[in-house]
Amino acid sequence: MSLYSDEDDEMECCPLCITEIDIADKYFKPCPCEYQVCRFCWNHIKEDLNGLCPGCRRPYLDENVQFKPVTPDELARLSKAKKQKEKERKEQEIASKRHLATRVVLKNLVYVTGLPARILSEETLRSPDFFGQFGKITKVVLAKNRTTSYTPVVVTAVATGTYLLYARKEDAAKAIEAVDGAAFEGKAFRAMFGASKYCPWFLKGRACSTPNCTCLHESGEDADSFLREEAG
């Protein structure tokens, strides 16, 4: 295999300082074993350390240095490839941030507001007398908002909404149809399909390590997705 193979335009990183090797030093090989380091580390090893190649422990000798200057055409090609790689990286970051801001409507998730405090317990909400009558509920989440009273030292937490995750989409639709606009103890309920965001771990392609995570761990339908600011 040729020492100066340009079979690809990927730039390598120095294994010692973990910085990208300069394009002009693509073919800089300071040791016959071809263990490549950047010029800064090579000079640092020679001048300040033991002067031995980290790859084979052979002494660094100037006569063993192999260097082939990068031609102007190749330098232009490598520079273009580097810029394209950086552009793709930035596009991926933007797409990831956009996904973090995306909310996906779940057809088996019901969001209810206006429930009286006395029934805001998971056991009561799951019961056949309330939302359990429409189907099996797999998860109940009480969304809370911290509010302060007129006394600054007194802080209370009140429920602003309730999420009910049904096992079946049809059951969620039945619950919304029956509950939305209905009155209970003189107060009207509001019920609608709930929305969730993507789990950051899912977006990174890694397994979620958060117990009972309520975020999405699979791709939602584009038609049912919207950005948080679009919700107004």
Which tens digits make up the pLDDT trace of 163-188?
999 999 999 999 999 999 888 777 88
Q: Any residues with CB less than 8 A from the CB of 95 and at least 6 apart, and which? A: none
Answer whether residue 159 shows pLDDT above 80: no
Answer whether residue 5 shows pLDDT above 60: no
Answer whether residue 226 shows pLDDT above 50: no
How far, in Å, CA of 164 to CA of 167, rounded? 10
Q: How confident is the model at residue 157 (pLDDT cuts 50, 70, 90)?
A: very low
Q: Domain boundaries in the chain? A: 23-70, 101-231
* Amino acid 10: pLDDT: 53
Answer whether residue 45 shows pLDDT above 60: yes
Answer whether residue 51 shows pLDDT above 80: yes
Answer whether residue 73 shows pLDDT above 70: yes
Give which of 34, 165, 182, 210 is closest to 114, Cα–Cα: 182
Least confident of 17-21, 27-31, 75-79, 136-140: 75-79
CB atoms near residue 8 (< 10 Å):
7
Least confident of 95-99, 121-125, 227-231: 227-231
Calculate Rg over the CA atoms of the chain: 30
- Summarised one tens digit per residue, pLDDT across range 186-221 is 788 899 998 888 787 777 778 888 776 777 777 655
- Summarised one tens digit per residue, pLDDT across range 56-68 is 999 999 888 887 7
How far, in Å, CA of 191 to CA of 180, rounded? 5
Which of 84-88, 105-109, 135-139 holds the top average pLDDT?
Answer: 135-139
Can you point out the beta strands (E) in the chain?
28-29, 66-67, 102-113, 137-148, 155-166, 183-184, 187-188, 190-197, 225-227
* Chosen CATH of 101-231 out of 3.30.70.330, 3.30.390.30, 2.120.10.30, 3.40.50.2300: 3.30.70.330
* Amino acid 7: pLDDT: 42
* Amino acid 52: pLDDT: 94
